[in-house]
Amino acid sequence: MNSSSPLIFDRDAVRRHLARALPRFTEHDALFRDSAEQMQERIADVKRTFTARLDLSPFPFLQNATTGGGVFLDEELLPFDPQSFDLIASNLGLHWANDVPGALKQIHNTLKPEGLFIATLIGEQSLRELRACLIDAELSVSGGISPRLSPTIDLLTASQLMQRAGFSLPVVDKETVTLLYSDMFALMRDLRGMGQTNAHTQRLRHATRRAVFFEAARLYQTRFGDAEGRIPASFDILHLHGWK
Q: Is residue 143 packed enough to be buried (19+ CB in 10 Å), middle (13-18) or exposed (0-12)?
A: exposed
Position 142 confidence tier, pLDDT thresholds 50, 70, 90: confident
Give the domain 11-243 fold: Rossmann fold (3.40.50)
- Convert the pLDDT of each residue in 43-95 to its tens digit: 999 989 999 999 999 998 887 788 754 455 778 889 999 999 999 999 999 99
pLDDT score recorded for residue 69: 45
pLDDT score recorded for residue 1: 57
The full set of domain ranges for the chain reads 11-243
- List phi, psi (to 5°) of 79: -90, 40
CA angle, residues 38, 39, 44, in degrees to nearest 5? 100
High-pLDDT (> 90) share of the chain, %: 77
**Nearest CA-CA partner of 199 in 63, 58, 67, 61:** 58
Position 18 confidence tier, pLDDT thresholds 50, 70, 90: very high
Whether residue 182 has pLDDT greater than 50? yes
| Least confident interval from 146-160, 180-194, 224-238 | 146-160
pLDDT score recorded for residue 205: 72
- List phi, psi (to 5°) of 235: -120, 120
High-pLDDT (> 70) share of the chain, %: 95
CA distance 16 to 19: 5
pTM for this prediction: 0.90
Q: How far is the CA of 31 from the CAs of 25, 26, 241, in angstroms?
A: 11, 11, 19
